[in-house]
Amino acid sequence: MTADPSAALEVNRLDRSFDVSPPFLNRLIYRQKRKSLHAVNDVTFSVPRGGCLSLVGESGCGKSTVARLVTGIYPPSSGEIRFAPGKSGAPLSAQMIFQDPYASLNPRWRVKNIIAEPLRELKLRETPAEVESRVAELLEIVGLNAADGDKFPHEFSGGQRQRISIARALASEPEFLVCDEPTSALDVSVQAQILNLMRRLQDELGLTYLFISHDLSVVRHMSDRIAVMYLGRIVEEADTETLFADPKHPYTRLLLQTIPNIEHPQRDREVTAGEVPSPLAPPPGCAFHTRCQLATERCKSDRPELLAKADGARVACHFA
Amino acid sequence: MDDARQTCLEVKNLVVEFPNRHGTLRALNDISLEIRPGEILGMVGESGAGKSMTGLAIQGLLERPGHIASGEVWLAGRRIDNLTDRDMEKVRGREIGAIFQDPLTSLNPLFTVGNQLTETIRQHMPEMRRSAARERAIGLLKEVGIPGPAERVDHYPHQFSGGMRQRVVIALALAAKPRLIIADEPTTALDVSIQAQITGLLRRLCKEHGTAVMLVTHDMGVIAETADRVAVMYAGRLIEIGSVETVLRNPAHPYTKGLMASIPALGARVAHLHQIDGAMPRLNAIPPGCAFNPRCTTAGPRCRRDQPALVPTGAGAAACWLHDGGVA
């Protein structure tokens, strides 16, 4: 893959497996084999500068693992992750916003110290006075008060805490933000505040987002392009409007069909599709064939490649 | 509805208080509602609004020092809020089934699901023989859609997936054929495709058995697909109640309106979501008048002075001065 100048992040054939073997003695005594969990399998995508790509899928599909690989929390087993040069010429820097604002802030630290930590650690500001004024500025960017810096995290509500984690992520002036389910721990009325804040920051600071969520209505609101993952692989990737108007993979259709629709509830539909198979033993062929109504013999043995379609979508299905 | 026999659960002016050293916190303030047999009442609200607390108070599971300060709870014509702990134990499980959010923590990991089901069945129907109870356990697992129930009955909870575990929990709640099921966020821990299966199952079972359900959730989508009527809670009070169509499509209270508008729509994409600024007040800092007035765009002087009561608004009822003589 050649470097695309318009892309902020290019991910090429990314693989990551985890060793989930039983302990050494168990293997020796009970003759158990080594086991590995292939969490991310041959994932390729790119995120355009200033855009937002969303990864969606159910738990265990590998979307959070991709987020952690991109931010370097896990090293990849194989494949490459390439950030384009940022404003300074060096590869642009990424930061992450986590799902649970109750667990991701140190309860013993004052908010100003939480936000100042990256500034001090990376020596982005020289004097304590400069650090302090930058912290105040960051708090105001995310819609809090500069005086809130003296409080502790427990004095804030969930939505305000998520604002604090956004301020912390912005402290090192990143150009790329990885957001792992940033609103799923929040109430609906607060979720709207955080989503609006993230959109505003994207416009004002020219941020690029990799957005992870299982909530398709949130994803639709935030993203330009969506990649649907199933058991570690991307099964469909398309522009937001294309994906919603013309979903091509049967799994995408299943996901879209199961979103509760507030305007037109379908109370009497019978959902019969089963559950996600264990990622420890993914089915051969197309991993979705166990739940797919279109599945044939070919799907059980022959894994479909992710192929580009005329409208710019990429789909991995024999019938698309 | 006026017929007393037609009501399964009736809550009258329920007040729950938590005394602490700084004073008394009123967690539930004057809640009145009723559920008919076979009806699903959705309870929505933000975290801390009191929706789970209502369910706990009905089941007599309030943690001390929390207590029911006034009001009454009636189940099928019998008052249950003043029962002794011993009598209440017989009501729980037998007459009121419970489904909790996390299906893993509500099952005992050390017993097979069959053991847990037969124990519950025999607890409430002591005359039933062990073998008959086991048959009934298998029947229940089949009813909640678990494939191969005859083998699965001897499996442990960890051998089930999240969705299957929640089906087991539903089977447990149904075991003694209760009149009322209180389901507290039953689908929150599940994936969307499983969530639709579980809400569909709950709806089918409650219609078939004529069981009343109180469905506590913060997810408006789940309410839209499952509930018959909706009660919206805010800061410990019931602020709107009505049929699901009325409350979701044509809400009367400004808070419900804002809540509905702040959900990203699937139909059309907008640049800016409607947002309700601020956050719900904590119980120790509820403003005078209507608790929603600091966040309300239509608040007037009366909203900051007097607390509105639930008044009929045509198809439902809402607690807002807009519907009760104006905000001025």
State ipTM. Answer: 0.76
Could you give the count of Cα atoms lying within 13 Å of A211 in the half-sphere of its Cβ?
Answer: 31
From the CA atom positions of chain B, what is the Rg in Å?
Answer: 21
CA dihedral A285, A291, A295, A298 (to 10 degrees): 10
Residue range B122-129: mean pLDDT, rounded: 88
pLDDT-derived band of residue B43, with 50, 70 and 90 as boundaries? very high
Structure tokens at A173: 């002036």
Q: Is some CB atom of chain B closer than 8 A to the CB atom of A145?
A: no
Q: Is some CB atom of chain B closer than 8 A to the CB atom of A254?
A: yes
Q: Are B182 and B42 in contact (CB under 8 A)?
A: no
Cα separation of B279 and A231, whole Å? 38
Task: Based on the fold, state whether residues B203 and B319 are members of the same structural domain.
Answer: yes
Domain enclosing residue B152, as ranges: 104-175
pLDDT, tens digit, 9 for 90 and up, residues B275-303: 888 888 888 889 999 999 999 999 999 99
- The whole-angstrom distance between A217's CA and the closest CA on chain B is 6
Positive or negative, the CA dihedral A253, B149, A296, A269 is negative
Are β-strands B40-44 and A176-180 bridged in parallel, bridged antiparallel, or unpaired? unpaired
Contact list, B219 vs chain A (CB under 8 Å):
260
Cα separation of A257 and A271, whole Å? 9
Domain end, chosen from B131, B160, B175, is at B175
- The whole-angstrom distance between B41's CA and the closest CA on chain A is 15
What pLDDT is attached to residue B273? 84
Task: Based on the fold, state whether residues B151 and B66 are members of the same structural domain.
Answer: no
In a domain, B290, yes or no: yes
- Which pTM value belongs to this model? 0.83
Task: Based on the fold, state whether residues B142 and B69 are members of the same structural domain.
Answer: no
Q: Is some CB atom of chain A closer than 8 A to the CB atom of B258?
A: yes
Cα separation of A265 and B244, whole Å? 10
What pLDDT is attached to residue A268? 60
The least confident of A148-157, A271-280, B41-50, B114-123 is A271-280
Are β-strands A52-56 and A208-213 bridged in parallel, bridged antiparallel, or unpaired? parallel
Structure tokens at A187: 């109430």
The number of helices, as runs of H, and strands, as runs of E, in chain B is: 11, 12
Question: What Cα–Cα distance (Å) separates residue B235 from each residue in B53, B68, B238, B287, B323?
Answer: 11, 17, 9, 10, 20
DSSP 3-state assignment of B297? coil
Which strand ranges, in their side-by-side order, compose the sheet holding A7-19? Answer: A36-48, A7-19, A78-83
DSSP 3-state assignment of B151? helix
What pLDDT is attached to residue A101? 85
Task: Based on the fold, state whether residues B148 and B224 are members of the same structural domain.
Answer: no
Task: Based on the fold, state whether residues B183 and B116 are members of the same structural domain.
Answer: no
pLDDT, tens digit, 9 for 90 and up, residues B131-178: 999 999 999 998 888 888 998 999 999 888 888 888 899 999 988 889
In a domain, B328, yes or no: no
What pLDDT is attached to residue A131? 93
Task: Based on the fold, state whether residues B46 and B155 are members of the same structural domain.
Answer: no
Task: Based on the fold, state whether residues B9 and B132 are members of the same structural domain.
Answer: no
- The whole-angstrom distance between A6's CA and the closest CA on chain B is 23
Higher pLDDT, B210 or A259: B210
pLDDT-derived band of residue A256, with 50, 70 and 90 as boundaries? confident
What pLDDT is attached to residue B268? 65
Cα separation of B131 and A31, whole Å? 39
Higher pLDDT, B228 or A279: B228
* DSSP run (H or E) holding A41: strand A36-48
Domain end, chosen from B175, B198, B230, is at B175
pLDDT, tens digit, 9 for 90 and up, residues A112-136: 999 999 999 888 888 999 999 999 9
Task: Based on the fold, state whether residues B59 and B126 are members of the same structural domain.
Answer: no
Which member of B193, B226, B263 has the closest CB to residue A254? Answer: B193
Considering only CA atoms, which of A183, A168, A158 is closest in space to residue A54?
A183
What pLDDT is attached to residue B4? 46
pLDDT-derived band of residue B218, with 50, 70 and 90 as boundaries? confident
Percent of residues, chain B, with pLDDT higher than 70: 97
The least confident of A105-119, A260-274, B39-53, B161-175 is A260-274
- Quick check: B2 pLDDT over 50? no
Considering only CA atoms, which of B235, B218, B233 is closest in space to residue B282?
B235
Structure tokens at B9: 């659960």
Residue range A163-192: mean pLDDT, rounded: 89
Which CATH number characterizes residue B318's domain? Answer: 3.40.50.300
Contact list, A214 vs chain B (CB under 8 Å):
191-192
How many residue contacts between A and B have a Cβ separation below 8 Å?
122
Q: What does the DSSP 8-state code read for residue A45? A: E
Cα separation of B30 and B246, whole Å? 23
Task: Based on the fold, state whether residues B201 and B303 are members of the same structural domain.
Answer: yes
Number of domains into which chain B is organized: 2
Task: Based on the fold, state whether residues B232 and B87 are members of the same structural domain.
Answer: yes
pLDDT, tens digit, 9 for 90 and up, residues B7-32: 899 999 999 999 988 889 999 999 99
- Quick check: A2 pLDDT over 60? no
In a domain, B308, yes or no: yes
Domain end, chosen from B175, B199, B221, is at B175
Which of 156-175 (B) contact A at CB < 8 A? 161-164
CB spacing of A192 vs B262 below 8 angstroms: yes
What pLDDT is attached to residue A111? 94
Q: Is some CB atom of chain B closer than 8 A to the CB atom of A275?
A: yes
pLDDT-derived band of residue A43, with 50, 70 and 90 as boundaries? very high
